[in-house]
Amino acid sequence: MSNQPDVSREAVVTPVRVVIALCLVAPFVAMLWVGSYAKTDPAFIGIPFFYWYQMLWVVISTALTMLAYALWRRDQRARAAAKGGAAE
């Protein structure tokens, strides 16, 4: 007999998890693609595009992370409910 505990953690790719991954990856892609925002125009209230674009992504990243967390919690509750309902 094996001494390892019976842990059934399923690594399942679902549409919700794909959306979560996209929410978390989008800010990295946007910031690593420097060529897309390495310019000064258009300026916003005197601030060059290079700077206000990055600051905008701080807000967008926060919103996307909050969305990803909410989706993750909902997914985990649904999995726990499905697992609890199957055990009865």
Q: What are phi and psi of 47, to 5 degrees?
A: -95, 125
Q: What is the pLDDT of residue 40?
A: 86
Mean of all residue pLDDT scores within the chain: 86
Decide if pLDDT at 10 tops 80.
Answer: no
Cα–Cα distance measured from residue 43 to residue 8, given in angstroms and rounded to the nearest whole number: 53
Q: What is the pLDDT of residue 83?
A: 82
- Do the beta carbons of residue 35 and residue 50 sit within 8 Å? no
Copy the structure tokens of residue 76: 């985990």
Q: What are the start-end ranges of the E strands in the chain?
A: none
Q: Specify the pTM.
A: 0.77
- Do the beta carbons of residue 14 and residue 72 sit within 8 Å? no
Classified as helix, coil or strand, 1 is coil
| Across 36-40, 53-57, 64-68, least confident range | 36-40
Give the model confidence (pLDDT) of 22-48 as tens digits: 999 999 999 999 888 888 889 889 999
Q: What is the pLDDT of residue 86?
A: 59
